[in-house]
Structure formats: C-alpha cells, structure tokens
Amino acid sequence: MGQRARREHLFVETDGQVYLIRDHGNLRFPRAGEKLPFLTEPNGVMDFGTDRVLRQKPRLDHHPEEWLGRDAIFERTDVDPLVKRAIYTTMIRCVSEVILSNGPRVLMVKAVRGFSKGYWNVPGGFMDYGESPEVGVEREAEEEIGVGIRLDGLLNVYVSGFPGKPAYTLGFVYKGHIASDAFRLKPDEIEDVGWFTVDKALTLTRNPFAKWALVDFFLQSNEARFALSVHRHGAAPHVGGPDRPTVFLDRDGVINRGRAGYVRRPDQFQFLPGAIQGMRLLQDRGWQLVIVTNQDAAGWKLLPEAQLAKVHDRMLAGLRKAGVQVAEIYYCPHNVLSDCACRKPRPGMLLAAARDLGARPRSAWMVGDKPMDVQTGRAFGCRTAWVGPKAWRRRFAAEVRPWSPDVVADGLLEAARAIVRYSEDPVVEASRKSRADPTITS
C-alpha cells in the first residue's frame, strides 16, 4: 500500500482564542488552501505524522470574541480530536530540577524511562498539581536518589521545547547539596548515579535547560570555574559583559584549508574562499568571534606550542588586515586518547569562553566541518552549523544526523548568511529546518 499523503491544517490563535470551522456538525482547523477571512503570519510548525499543523498568527484589528477559547475546547464533544491534541501539546509543562554539587562536580542520574531514557540528567521531574517548585524538586530528587537534599536557592528558570516534539516545558532549576551519599535509587526510574565535572555532564544530558543550568552553575561556582584549565592564544584584550552574542568557529576546514600532516608552519596556513567574508559579516552584525580548535599535531608532539602560536599569529594578521577581530583562540594541545575537558566533543573551550568572554549558550552558535563540532555545540546547548563540500557532507551525513545541525552549508560565508537570517527572523527556524536531511545546503 502507498504512503498516505500528509494533510496540512492551520492552527490560528490569538489571545487564547482559536479560529475553527464548522464542518458537518464538528469544529475543525481550516485546511491549507482554504480561504481565510483575514491575513496571517507563520508562527511555527507542529508535526503529527500524517497531519502537519501550521501555526498561524492572524492580523486582526479587534479581539475575536466569537472564536472558541482554548480552555473551553476540551469540554466539548464536537471538536476534532486533532484540534484538542494540537492545543494540548502547546500547553506548557512544569518541571523542577536541582543541580547538586560537591566542589566542582555535579550529581547526575541515568534515567530508566521517559524523555531522558538511557541518558543522564540532573535530579528532579514534573511537579504535581498545586505543588510549589521547591516542594516538587525536593520530593522528586529524594524519590529518585533515596537521600535528603538541601536547596541553596533558585539557579534560574528556563523554557525549552523537546527535540522533535511540538511541546514546551517551563523548568525551575535549583542549586543544592545532598545530606548523604548512601544512595537508594528508585529502580523503576533511575539505573545509575554519578558525580561529573560540568564539561562531562554537558555531554551526557539531552535536556536543553539542564545544559543551560549546568553552564549557569559553572559560572556561579568559584570551584568549577577555577578547576577548568584551557589553553588560549591571547588574541585580544577581554572586554564586554555577560551574554555576548558569540559564534564559535572550528579552525581547520572552516577558516583555513586542512592538509595531510596538519598545518604545522605559518606558510602552510591558507584561508578558505569566503571564510574572511563570512567572519566579517558576523562581526558586522554584532557577533564576537571565538575560535575553538583541537590541535592533534601538538598532542602528538609534532607541533610545539610556540610554533602553533606562530601559525595563529599568521592567521590573526591576515584577519586584522581584512578588518576582522577575533576575541580569542582556545586550543586543545592534547592527543585523541586524553580525557581532558578541552578536547572536542567535550565543551571545555566553550565553557572557558563563557567564563572569560561572556558567551552564553542561548545566544551562541558553533560552526564546524566535523560531526564532533556539531556534537560540541549541542553539548554546550547552543545552535549549530555544519559546513563543508557536498561530497564531504554525504560522507559524514549518518554520523552527524543524531546531532541535528540547525544550518548546513557549503562554507563559512554561506553559514554566516544563514545565521544572520536566523537571528533576524526566528520564525525561519520552523520553515527551513534541514535536520531531517543534513546534506541540504541552507
């Protein structure tokens, strides 16, 4: 049998009022192609398999009291189930979680079920009806790990969608400590528990606001900040405050040509076509540029760090001549067998930029040509761009797919243009996602 054609519906809502059409005694969404008595603007996409619901914001000069209020829809029996399902998924869920710390390390639990099944997360969960966030997180965490906790205060409040799902969650995340390490894990929820440094914890969780909370905890914890040691070139004086819009750039394959045997001398450094223009475009639109690069040649003692500094000086001189300023170059001089915080896909270099330069996940992008670059950006909790020639992307398409890059492009200039478009029009996210096929060029 052939696959059913996907049906498209229009979810038009303003101020809690939903526009529905009466059809043979039932109320349903208007379908794509049906004429509406007003103009609309796109406001997101909801995917329900064979049904695709297009969120639309109406242009009206009055409040449509004749439309049906979303709260009343669930009580009615004459409303299409798809309408109820779509409205339900737009209702914000509330969870309360806690980062329990021991010096620079944080406690993570590995889930048996739910959204985080098979992954690690910070303790906590959904709040019960009528429960305050403080009470909810104490109850959930103590149920999961079997020991009492002490809250030290609210870390932050976050809103995030679930990857691949049209639902949003409001997350209250606290700081705290445990009263005892004699854990008694709840067997139907938690299979393991462990203490991890923040850089490692970020690679283990898939919860977006757990990632953001871990970064915030890192920035507020003197012990965690001081424990992170990352090599940097010293490209420019560090200026500016927190939450500076930042684009992290891999080096070889993004800014310059890679080569067999590594770039080991300044005269071997060659800018890729369009790289300088892309960096200038991002700079002109207000982004600070931070280079984060694994340097395997240094790790295998093929490139002394003093020589690496000369390569970077050559690069910076070429950029300055073109009017491009780099905020900093962070580099990992360790080999592939090292269990260091700075080697991508661990996000230690990005955490260092958060500490030193005011970079923050929700206002940052990671641009790289390797799947591990995309994985690093995802670990930090920022948006990602994957660049490279089409043949290169076809070769690594399966490897990068789990990390779902937001932008896929031939090179840095094309990625920069896409990042600028995205930042100027967030609705673009719903209409031009290339996550399903990471060989599409933005």
List residues with catalytic annotation. 250, 252
User: Which amino acid is residue 62, in one-letter code?
Assistant: H
Q: How far apart are CA 162 and CA 117, in angstroms?
A: 14
Rounded to an integer, what distance in angstroms lies between the CA atom of residue 364 and that of residue 196?
A: 24
Strand (E) or helix (H) holding 97: strand 93-102
Burial class (CB in 10 A: 0-12, 13-18, 19+), 85: middle
Q: How far is CA 342 from CA 111, 165, 207, 250, in A?
A: 27, 32, 22, 13
Dihedral of CA 407/408/410/411: which sign? positive
Rounded Cα gap, residues 130 and 253, in angstroms? 53
301 near 188, Cβ under 8 Å?
no
Residue with tokens 């809250």: 151
Query: In the numeric block, which tokens belong to residue 340?
Result: 């260091």
Choose among 16, 174, 8: nearest CA to 91. 16
Query: How many residues comprise the chain?
Result: 442
Compute, in degrees rounded to 10, the torsion defined by CA atoms 149, 154, 156, 158: 60
- How many Å apart are CA 414 and CA 440, to the nearest integer? 12
Residue 259: what are its φ and ψ, rounded to 5°?
A: -150, 150
Closest CA to 128 of 138, 118, 116, 113: 138
Residues 6+ apart with CB under 8 A from 148: 142, 178, 179, 180
Q: Which residues pair with 380 in a beta bridge?
A: none
| Alpha carbons 276 and 252: distance in angstroms, whole number | 14
Distances from the Cα of 158 to the Cα of 1, 155, 251, 338, 383, angstroms: 45, 10, 32, 34, 16
